[in-house]
Amino acid sequence: MSAPVTRPAPVLLRGAALASGESADVLVADGLVAAVGPDASAHPAAGAAEVLDCTGLIVLPGLVDLHTHLRQPGKEDAETVETGTRAAAMGGFTSVHAMANSTPTADTAGVVEQVWRLGRDAGWCDVHPVGAVTVGLAGEALADLGAMADSQARVRMFSDDGMCVHDAVLMRRALEYVKSFGGFVAQHAQEPKLTAGAQMNESELSGILGLPGWPAVAEEAIIARDVLLAQHVDSRLHVCHVSTEGSVRLIRWAKEQGVRVTAEVTPHHLLLTEELVRSYDPVYKVNPPLRREADVMALREALADGTIDTVGTDHAPHTPETKQCEWTVAAMGMTGLETALPVVQQAMVETGLLDWAGVARVLSVNPARIAGLTDQGQAGDDGAPRVGAVANLVVWDPSVRRTVDPEAHLTRSRNSPYRGMELPGATVHTLYRGHRVVADGAPATPYRHPAAAETGEASR
């Protein structure tokens, strides 16, 4: 017999700073934002609420990641849905999108529903499976996009991330297909013939280090083609992990033409450069590669001015066997869920490029809008909680600074490029559907979905 369903206890966040800059109390009751401001303490539910002193802390809408690798099914030695989403909650995320490159590939309704159920059972945050564009990510035939869209997982985002949909005809067909049900294609922009054997950014440094180079044009050529295809069929394109100055120019031009294109940048491309590759430490090996300082500055400016819409972590956990080895055979990827907001604070807030309303916009409001997460629209454009919205919130302490220790992270993998770096900020509380999944800076208890508690299985 399943455990009885219990509603999250009311919580009053007292004296918090909102992303908009004002100070206000926030009352959470029955899983919703019940009141904000002077009405919070006078609300009937306030008398039974647990009061949390949030003086000096910032309340942000729960973060939304459009680009997470949870590895399950098939690669549970690197990550599971449970460990990955617990790490996400610790990073302030209440919604993540799980990329399709699992084993088996998430290219059928059965696999995406499995990932979705695993997310509900874990209870740390919402998990939205990303469906593969092509069968097995092979780039030869379209996967059954319609079946995944009609499944319990209700997939709307499709990507062969890790692989590029390099065939122009196939990409056009995918864009046309997803348009019929309001979906979009998220492209990993990498022309394969220009990057065969590539190991790092193509530059003077790659020549010095003797590592085959990965030219910027390999990314930019695919973006140029795809924005024209999206314009031609009037469909939605999302560009994953933009990494070059030239890519920024192309996306800016496309938006000026009215193309329905959105774009993301990773935290590591906002902070790290190719100079780190001099160490030959494979923790810095990533796809797309770390680029030049000029690219980093262009990406920051593009995120600040809205050319790039959101920050996607591209959280890519790997086992020690695949990362602690010779550079040329090491896997590509870095962990990022637990360090994303600290990196954004350092790269964007402390440089004056974004205020906290801007942080809420690029880490919550915009990605929720792109993905069509109507139940995640818990904040206005200024990042302030909306009364009546689902209470997905993160309480953030911007004043602390901590040295990154991957051994203390909740993700199953340890391939963080920030090891030993001092980064600002820390999650104090994460509220997922009104339940504190992170409390006082530590994981608490997961949320039990009512359907799962009552029936023993997830449903939607």
**Token pair for residue 25?**
């109390």
- How far is 94 from 61, CA to CA, in rounded Å? 9
Residue 299 in domain: yes
CB atoms near residue 50 (< 10 Å)? 12
Local confidence pLDDT in tens for the 460 residues of the chain: 344 446 788 999 999 999 989 999 999 999 999 999 988 989 999 999 999 999 999 999 999 999 999 999 999 999 999 999 999 999 999 999 999 999 999 999 999 999 999 999 999 999 999 999 999 999 999 999 999 999 999 999 999 999 999 999 999 999 999 999 999 999 999 999 999 999 999 999 999 999 999 999 999 999 999 999 999 999 999 999 999 999 999 999 999 999 999 999 999 999 999 999 999 999 999 999 999 999 999 999 999 999 999 999 999 999 999 999 999 999 999 999 999 999 999 999 999 999 999 999 999 999 999 999 976 556 777 888 999 999 999 999 999 999 999 999 999 999 999 999 999 999 999 999 999 999 999 999 999 988 654 444 433 3
Q: Are 158 and 216 in contact (CB under 8 A)?
A: no
Q: Do residues 107 and 168 both lie within one domain?
A: yes
Q: Do residues 412 and 314 both lie within one domain?
A: no
Closest CA to 245 of 291, 214, 286, 202: 291
CB atoms near residue 258 (< 10 Å)? 9
Amino acid at site 223: I
**Token pair for residue 251?**
């996306």
Q: Are 79 and 413 in contact (CB under 8 A)?
A: yes
Q: What is the pLDDT of residue 8?
A: 82
Residue 38 in domain: yes
Residue 69 in domain: yes
- How far is 60 from 430, CA to CA, in rounded Å? 10
Q: Are 291 and 201 in contact (CB under 8 A)?
A: yes
Q: Within 13 Å of residue 447, how many CA atoms lie on the same side as its CB?
A: 31
Q: What is the pLDDT of residue 131?
A: 98
Q: Which of 376, 402, 422 is the last residue of a domain?
A: 376
Where is 344: in which H helix or E strand?
helix 340-344
Task: Give the single-character DSSP code of 427.
Answer: E
Encode pLDDT of 408-454 as tens digits: 999 999 999 999 999 999 999 999 999 999 999 999 999 998 865 44
Residue 277 in domain: yes
Q: What is the pLDDT of residue 382?
A: 82
Residue 2 in domain: no
Q: Do residues 245 and 293 both lie within one domain?
A: yes
How far lies 369's CA from each of 265, 310, 404, in Å? 16, 10, 31
Q: What is the DSSP string of 160-209?
A: -TTS----HHHHHHHHHHHHTTT-EEEE----GGGSTT--EE-SHHHHHH
For β-strands 261-265 and 310-311, DSSP reports them as parallel
CATH code for the domain in which residue 40 is found: 2.30.40.10
Count of positions (residues) in the chain = 460
- Helix/strand/coil for 444: coil
Q: Do residues 40 and 155 both lie within one domain?
A: no
Q: Are 329 and 382 in contact (CB under 8 A)?
A: no
Q: Do residues 354 and 428 both lie within one domain?
A: no
With 0-12 / 13-18 / 19 or more C-beta atoms within 10 angstroms meaning exposed / middle / buried, residue 319 is middle
Q: Are 443 and 93 in contact (CB under 8 A)?
A: no
Beta bridge partners of 213: 200
Q: Which of 352, 376, 400 is the last residue of a domain?
A: 376
Q: Are 200 and 213 in contact (CB under 8 A)?
A: yes
CATH code for the domain in which residue 321 is found: 3.20.20.140
- How far is 351 from 65, CA to CA, in rounded Å? 23
Residue 381 in domain: no
Q: Do residues 234 and 273 both lie within one domain?
A: yes
Closest CA to 251 of 189, 171, 307, 300: 307
- How far is 129 from 207, CA to CA, in rounded Å? 40
Catalytic residues: 314
Q: What is the pLDDT of residue 166?
A: 97
Count of helices and strands (H, E) across the chain: 15, 19
Q: What is the pLDDT of residue 455?
A: 41
Residue 118 in domain: yes
Q: Do residues 405 and 431 both lie within one domain?
A: yes
How far lies 256's CA from each of 3, 235, 238, 261, 280, in Å? 54, 16, 16, 10, 40
Domain that holds residue 275: 61-376
Q: Do residues 349 and 262 both lie within one domain?
A: yes
Number of domains in the chain: 2
Task: Give the single-character DSSP code of 407.
Answer: G
Q: Do residues 151 and 274 both lie within one domain?
A: yes
